[in-house]
Amino acid sequence: MANEEKLTSNPAAALFDALDDVRTGMLGIHGSEQHLQPMTHFGDREEGKIRFITARDTDLAKSVGSGKEARFTVVSTAQDFHACVAGKLSQVEDRKKLEELWSPMIGAWFEGGPEDQNAVLLELDISEASMWASTSNPFRFGYQIAKANLTEGNQPDVGEHVVHNFHAAA
């Protein structure tokens, strides 16, 4: 459930709370001809990063090379929080972190476990996120829609929008 007050008072926490509540989002390289693709994410609040595990031989991993600007989008299960996260996506050689994030779900994609040489860790160093938190209260939503339709020049007030610069906040 989106917290509109948290979004305006602590946008970084609102983003990582949302990441904790859902397991996948859509990841893509900015300016690429490739479509965004579904990826399981691992948020790191302390470092302001989102990590992903994929295979080295995927188009995404090959395109990242030593680093590219990327976008990651996530929508809460209740569809009351939306985020588009931007930053530099890089391949990271960190077997310890890969092992820490490893799970049976990830293992289903790799025969050699976390030691599988085809497994690669991608890391999105978040620079900015545009986030929207909206009401999930159907009565508030209905009231705002009705009010906007009955009152000239009135738009519905159903949530908050924040663009947060992660490097300025550090």
Q: How many residues does the chain have?
A: 170
Q: Please name which of 63, 11, 72 lies closest in space to residue 40, comparing C-alpha atoms.
A: 72
- What do you get for the CA distance between the two ends of the chain, in Å? 26
What is the tens place of the pLDDT at every residue in 58-80?
Answer: 999 999 987 999 999 999 988 88
Q: Tell me the whole-structure pTM to 2 decimals.
A: 0.85
**Cβ 30 vs Cβ 69: under 8 Å:** yes
What is the tens place of the pLDDT at every residue in 24-48?
Answer: 999 999 988 889 999 999 999 999 9
Indicate the range of 28-32, 88-92, 118-122 predicted with least confidence: 28-32
**Cβ 133 vs Cβ 3: under 8 Å:** yes
